Amino acid sequence: MRTIPLALRYGLGLFLLAATALPPVAQACSRLVYLGADDQVVTARSMDWDAEMPTNLWAFPRGMQRSGEVGPNSIRWTSRYGSVIAATYENSTADGMNEAGLVANALWLEESSYPAFEGSRPGLSIAAWAQYVLDNFATVQEAVQALQAEPFILVSGKLPGLGGVATVHLSLSDAGGDSAIIEYVDGRQTIHHSRAYQVMTNSPAFEKQLAMQEYWQEIGGTVFLPGTSRAADRFARASFYVRTIPKTPNPVKTIASVFSVIRNVSVPFGISSPDEPNIASTRWRTVSDHKRRRYFFESAITPNVFWVDVTRFDFSPATGRPLKLELGPEESNIYSGMVNAQFKPTAPFRFAGFP
């Protein structure tokens, strides 16, 4: 039996202690980045929630005028890149890919706390955080460089559709395979930036998740992998499998492999546990093919995976229009294959704000 170094055992202990002491929330998501053969980079995420989360897909062109939606001192910008996004509650961007191949995923992080918004800098609603990144940057490096300067104060509060204050962290990945995790803990922004940061779950804070990554890289996963739906166990399985699945140049097999991993770390639909209130059913999954600019979507309650070819939308400011794909109650509308033609021109939603 392999002996685990003391430092790794100590780090694992801290991680497990944090994972088992999480507050009773019911939002639990996973995100992973696959780095494959032939320069393939694929990002997958699950959206886990304890109740119906109304979701639709949108395509946004360049040139859209945006506001941080926190009153007169809101940050304002014009979108530089078109994007395809998953909008929740018709008031926030939870996930998406832009035309340059940058992907943003918002995941719940109960440990989040944000700085006070006192007017010294422009504010940005947390509902528009992911969209701000997709609108403005082509790569993780560009985004990290800009966000390190803290051009805005991130503002959170009670969002429509939620029972409490929105607390999320943001993962970024790009076509070159770079990754970053952006969090606000104790009122301060922390950016973890490395190509090696391929996996994250909803909790605890990413620094403690890294202890888990080090442990499993040392022990391996062929003999034992934890199998529950807790964040620590999902992180362990995703970390092992995303590095173990074949590195094939075949794009069809690549997407199939990545889907198999994100399904493996999903929470069965309808499951609930009084003893584990932080576990919630997976409502939907996305898989983003950075190289081919394809954005795949899978609802937990429909039979088909479908996709959007991001390269086939008109994102020009002159002729491009906001387009919407209605997914229906509980994302129950059934689609298959490429669905670009089924998006309909629609007035864009307004991001939830805190005036």
Name the residues annotated as catalytic. Answer: 29
Please report which helix (H) or strand (E) contains residue 171, including its range: strand 168-173
Token pair 């639990």 in the structure block, residue: 28
In sequence order, the 6+-apart residues with CB closer than 8 A to the CB of 143 are: 102, 133, 136, 137, 172, 180
The length of the chain is 355
* Nearest CA-CA partner of 164 in 107, 125, 211, 110: 110
Which structure tokens are listed for 222?
A: 């062929």
Is residue 87 within a helix (H) or strand (E), and if so which, with residue range? strand 83-88
Query: Using an 8 Å Cβ cutoff, are 109 and 159 in contact?
Result: no
DSSP 278-320: T---EEEEEEEETTTTEEEEEETTSS-EEEEEGGGS---TTT-
Contact 27, 202 (CB under 8 A): yes
How many other β-carbons are positioned within 10 Å of the β-carbon of residue 89? 17
Strand partners for 47 = 284
From the number of C-beta atoms within 10 Å of its C-beta (0-12, 13-18, 19+), residue 146 rates as middle
What single string gives the DSSP state of each residue in 108-151? E-TT-------SSS-EEEGGGHHHHHHHH-SSHHHHHHHHHT--
Q: Helices 231-244 and 6-20 meet at what angle, rounded to 10?
A: 130
Q: What sign does the CA torsion over 44, 142, 293, 336 have? A: positive
